Structure formats: structure tokens, C-alpha cells
Amino acid sequence: MNASFIDMSAHAGSSLDSLNEWVAQVAALTRPGAVHWCDGSDAENDALTAAMQADGTLIKLNEKTHPGCWLHRSDPEDVARVEHLTFVCTTDRDDAGPNNHWMAPTDAHAKMDALFEGCMRGRTMYVIPYCMGPIDSPLSRCGVEITDSPYVVANMRIMTRMGAPALARIEREGHFVKGLHSTGELDPDRRFIMHFPEELAIKSYGSGYGGNALLGKKCHALRIASHQARTEGWLAEHMLILGLKNPQGETHYIAAAFPSACGKTNLAMLIPPEGYLKDGWRVTTVGDDICWMRPGSDGRLYAINPEAGFFGVAPGTSKKSNPNALASIQSNTIFTNVGLTADNQPWWEGLDEGEPVTDWRAEPYDPAKRPAAHPNSRFTVSARQCPSYSPESENPAGVPISAIVFGGRRPSLVPLVFEARDWTHGVLIGAAMGSETTAAATGAVGVMRRDPMAMKPFCGYNFADYFSHWLDFDNGSNKLPKVFHVNWFRRGEAGDFLWPGFGENLRVLEWMIGRVKGTAGAVETPIGNLPAASELNLAGVDLSAEAMEKLFGFDQTGWRQEFASIGEYLEEYGPRMPQALKDEQRRIAAQLEG
């Protein structure tokens, strides 16, 4: 081992003892050639990127059009999250619940340690201290990821507050989430993502893909944090956070949960339609993927975005769908698995300009063979580069949430928007969420599945307990947000999308804030409150009669079947499922019979 890389003395004798001890244990197991403690500095990043450029891990993009941008091509078999290889390892299997793959912690440790044994020989082991959330926020939590991937280091530097300030906080607090990662051989048969919520620990082997390897993100900020949040009385959610400023100058914050690759980044960065812009409406972005929230002293829920960057899906990002994202990724961005133009610019399907000549597998572009960009190709960029970035992202107190929105890809049945009658009904709406699967995880795309609160791949414990935890927030003293459900993806008979989406979604947000303030009307139905036709501003939107009927109508027969299926789904969780949720389902199912 190259001792010159090891600077343990700097951390000796302090409350970092447990960190030093763990690092030493991991080094003894994995046998790296060198150990490097990451400080997050520019100099460190420059040295790492230069080394990655030299060995081909990173390819420099056109410096004139995309200064500071890089392309990384992953192993073709390692392009997405692997839900079938992701485990929650609790002592009692029921604590992980039917929503998770489970393995006994001792078995999981033995399996992983056998994989990690000697796996970093000849490689550098990086120790990455990071903070999820503003460095001085009581809502934030710290972790340390040990990895042998410099690509992971470079991405973690963008996605988290990484380096010296995080290490100082860990030293103060004396505790942190332990994440151990190795890319291993990138062999899908030797790939596992294991979570040990009771130990606040993660072990990930065999993948370099973001959701499997950037352990601060899905593994820590959702799976481990959801467990921590339950024990500490807060919520860790798969939600964007946006600020909506109205012409009166009031800003309302909205948190919205959609499954992976269903438009969270687009909604978080929405640019209002022309008329709304003129009137003074603005959207600011606090987060695009993860939201940690807890009740403040006034009983409202206050939210932070634990992340510092965006790991967004590239395909489909365009001037029409998301001009703010496009502007964000013109510089200092790591692109993963996109195509290239002749002059070395990144290219993906849906981009307004340019032509691909090389595809994501470094082969000449041939549309008959494969798309230029992998459908789950990504950009990693600092949130501060986004034109709609909200300085409130750094507020240690978080932002007060006025509305929570649930939504999924539902080609049929589900109208454009409806509002929950109360919190319990809102929790049921979240629990019953369904959506078509996307390329963000390996497996078939376009298959309908229940994805409660968009947390199916991310909840670190039994969904039945998770729903109970949500219900507990309604304790008589909290002033909880209003809850809504949206569906931007309703299709007509011809298969076309009926709602224009993107910037036009502001019209729906406007109605929600009207409901929060008590100024907008609604029609009551068994499934919730729908906007009265006159209450949603549709001026300038050209909707067919079919679209009007499907987007704003309520199909009682279809919903009767849907509620029967929701009832069956809740039953799958057995006696742990909270009675209040089952009662709510039965009450609405009975109304639908009428």
C-alpha cells in the first residue's frame, strides 16, 4: 500500500476515531494500492479528471461549446438501477416488508465481504466525507462513502456537499452513514446493493451506475434516510421541491413525487407560459429528486433538498421540455452514455439541434441498431448552474411546504388533477399510486405497477409501517399541506398525449395554490375534488372534446375496478397495514358502488 497517500494522523485522537477505524478495516479487507481522503477541492478534482482523461474513463467534450464538460461511457451492461439486486437487510424480515428484497444481515455481510475481499488491489481507495443537505442545517445528515471509482468521486462532488466541511461536521457529531462501494468486475452476476438500516450502513458491489454507486443519493438519502426519518419523526421522500411565485409576490413551495424518469426535473424547472410570465408568475427550483421534510415549530412541514446537484435523464431534454436544464448543462457537466456529434458535442434523442455520428457505445450511429443516447443516459451538474436555482436551497431551516403532489404515468382512467379531501385520503392517494415502468431501472419498460409515493424502489422499510408513519403526522397540531394527484400522461383513443404538459402544467399548479388559499372551486367526487371547468385557466390551450372529457371527467365504473385493485394491494401487506387506510379505501369503494 502506498503509505504516502494515507494521512490518518490528521484525524487521529479525535471523535473521528470510529471513522479511522472503519477506513482501516475496509483497507485491510479490500487491500487497495493507496488510500486517498477527499477534500473536495478544485485541485483534487482537476487531478482526478486529468487521470480519468488519461485512462479513457472521461472523454473531453467540445471545449468551445461545452466548457468543462465530459463524457463517460459505462459498461453496456451497467446502465441503470438494479431493483432485483437491491436488498434491505433487517434483523426481522417483516421490517423490510413485501416491498423489498430481503436478506439476513449476517448472510448479507458475509456475501458482500467475500466480494470485497482484495477487490481494490492495485487501485486507489477514496474516502469521501459528504453532507446531505446544507452543511449547517439541523435537517441534514452526513455520510462517508468509500469507493474505488474516481468517476464516483467526481459525481459525488457535484451531487453532495463533499469534503472538508462535511468531515468537520462528522467530527462534531461523531456519527455518519457508512457506505462501501466497489465497481468490482462489473459482472451482473456479482452485483448487489445491500442496505443495513439498523446499522446505518450500505454495501454496494459490481456497478458504477449512479443510483447504485453514488451512495449519497438513493441508498443514503432515500433507503437509509427513510428508516432514520421514521425513528426521528420526519420524512425522506422521492420528491422534487419547487417555489411558485404568484403576481402578488407570494411564494408557495410544492413537493411532488413522481416515479423515476416521469418528469420531476422538468416540473422542478418549469418556465411559465408567456401570459403567466408577463403577469409575474415564476418557478424556482429547490430540488428535482429528493425531499427531506419535518414539522417546524409552527406545525408546517419544512423541506430541504439533501442533494447539491442534478443527476437528470438526458433524452427528451430540449428547449421545449426543459430550457432551464439545457442552459444548466452547457458547462461543467458530466454526461454519461449520451451520443456525440462530429464536433464532439453531447447529443441525445429529443435534442433540438445537431446530429449524432457516434452512439453511446462508441460505435458509428445507426438508428436501425440503437439510439444515439441510452434511454437512461444522464447529466450530472451542480444545482447552482440552473437559471431557476432557488437560493432557498441553502436555507438551513428549509422551505415551508404548501402542497404535496403525487403522480404517475397513467395512460387511462386517471384525470389531469384531483385533490384529497384530507390527510388520510391524501395518504391513500399516495399509497395507491401506479405508473408505467421506465428505463431508469433494468427490466421491461411500460409495465403498469403500483409505486406508492414513487418510493417502491426506495423505501428502506415495510410499506405498511411507512403508511402508518405518514398517517401519524396528522396529530391535531400539525398544519399539513394539501395533497393532490396529477396525471400529465393521459392518452386519447389514438394513443396521443391529451395534455400539452411542460410549461402548461403551471395552470394546474395555479389551481392547487388557489385551493390552498381557498380561492379556487372544485367539484366533489368519491375519488376527490376535481377542478370545476371554469376554475382551471385554459385560455390559449387547444383541447379537443375528447381531451376535455378524459382530463376532467370521472369514470365511475373504471374507478370501481381501480379501487377493488387498490384494496387487494393493501391486503398484500397483511396485518401491519394501518386500519385507517383500509377504512378509507372501503369508504370510497362503497361510495363508488352507489
Which spans of this chain sit near Mn ion (rule: CB under 5 A)?
260, 289
Residue 312 beta carbon to ligand OXD: minimum distance, rounded to whole angstroms: 8
Residue 210 beta carbon to ligand OXD: minimum distance, rounded to whole angstroms: 6
The residues near 67 (Cβ < 8 Å, ≥ 6 apart) are 330, 331, 332
The number of CA neighbours under 13 Å toward the Cβ of 580 is: 16
Residues 178-237 touching ligand OXD, rule: CB under 6 A, are: 210-211
Between residues 36 and 450, which has the closer beta carbon with respect to ligand OXD? 450
Binding partner of residue 81 among ligand OXD, Mn ion, none, CB under 5 to 8 Å per kind? ligand OXD
Residue 289 beta carbon to ligand OXD: minimum distance, rounded to whole angstroms: 5
Task: Count the neighbouring beta carbons within 10 Å of the beta carbon of residue 506.
Answer: 21
Task: Count the neighbouring beta carbons within 10 Å of the beta carbon of residue 327.
Answer: 15
Residue 307 beta carbon to ligand OXD: minimum distance, rounded to whole angstroms: 10
Residues 455-474 touching ligand OXD, rule: CB under 6 A, are: none
Residues 275-314 touching ligand OXD, rule: CB under 6 A, are: 289, 311
Between residues 37 and 311, which has the closer beta carbon with respect to ligand OXD? 311
> What does DSSP say about strands 240-245 and 282-287: parallel, antiparallel, or unpaired?
antiparallel
- 349 DSSP assignment: T
Does 45 bind ligand OXD (CB under 6 A)? Our answer is: no
Q: Among 260, 344, 424, 537, which residue interacts with ligand OXD (rule: CB under 6 A)?
A: 260
CA 579 to chain centre: 29
Q: Cα dihedral angle (497, 498, 503, 504), rounded to 10 degrees?
A: 180
Residue nearest to ligand OXD (CB): 260
Binding partner of residue 340 among Mn ion, ligand OXD, none, CB under 5 to 8 Å per kind? none
Cell matching residue 164: 472538508
Residue 40 beta carbon to ligand OXD: minimum distance, rounded to whole angstroms: 22
Decide if 345 contacts 60 (C-beta within 8 A).
no
Catalytic member of 89, 119, 142, 262: 262
Q: How many residues does the structure list for the chain? A: 594
Between residues 311 and 335, which has the closer beta carbon with respect to ligand OXD? 311
- 439 DSSP assignment: T
Distance CA 484, CA 571 (A): 24
Does 379 bind ligand OXD (CB under 6 A)? Our answer is: no
Sheet holding 59-60, edge to edge: 59-60, 70-72, 334-336, 378-382, 309-313
Q: How far apart are the first and last CA of the chain?
A: 74
Binding partner of residue 311 among ligand OXD, Mn ion, none, CB under 5 to 8 Å per kind? ligand OXD
Binding partner of residue 212 among ligand OXD, Mn ion, none, CB under 5 to 8 Å per kind? none
Decide if 272 contacts 243 (C-beta within 8 A).
no
Binding partner of residue 211 among Mn ion, ligand OXD, none, CB under 5 to 8 Å per kind? ligand OXD
Does 505 bind ligand OXD (CB under 6 A)? Our answer is: no
Residue 238 beta carbon to Mn ion: minimum distance, rounded to whole angstroms: 6
Residue 52 beta carbon to ligand OXD: minimum distance, rounded to whole angstroms: 21
Binding partner of residue 323 among Mn ion, ligand OXD, none, CB under 5 to 8 Å per kind? none
Instruction: Tell me whether residue 262 is one of the annotated catalytic residues.
Output: yes
Helix axes 42-54, 150-159, angle to 10 degrees: 140
Distance CA 79, CA 373 (A): 11
The residues near 452 (Cβ < 8 Å, ≥ 6 apart) are 99, 430, 431, 432, 433, 459, 463, 466, 467
Residue nearest to Mn ion (CB): 289
Residue 81 beta carbon to ligand OXD: minimum distance, rounded to whole angstroms: 5
Binding partner of residue 584 among Mn ion, ligand OXD, none, CB under 5 to 8 Å per kind? none
Q: What is 197-227 written as a DSSP string?
A: GGGTEEEEES--SHHHH-TIIIIIIIIIHHH
Binding partner of residue 285 among Mn ion, ligand OXD, none, CB under 5 to 8 Å per kind? none
Distance CA 148, CA 17 (A): 22
Does 407 bind ligand OXD (CB under 6 A)? Our answer is: no
Distance CA 582, CA 428 (A): 9
Contact pattern for ligand OXD over residues 510 through 549, marking x by CB under 6 A? ----------------------------------------
Residues binding ligand OXD: number (CB under 6 A): 7
The residues near 116 (Cβ < 8 Å, ≥ 6 apart) are 26, 29, 30, 180, 182, 203, 205
Does 81 bind ligand OXD (CB under 6 A)? Our answer is: yes
Contact pattern for ligand OXD over residues 438 through 457, marking x by CB under 6 A? --x-----------------
Q: Catalytic amino acids? A: 262
Binding site residues, ligand OXD, CB under 6 A: 81, 210-211, 260, 289, 311, 440
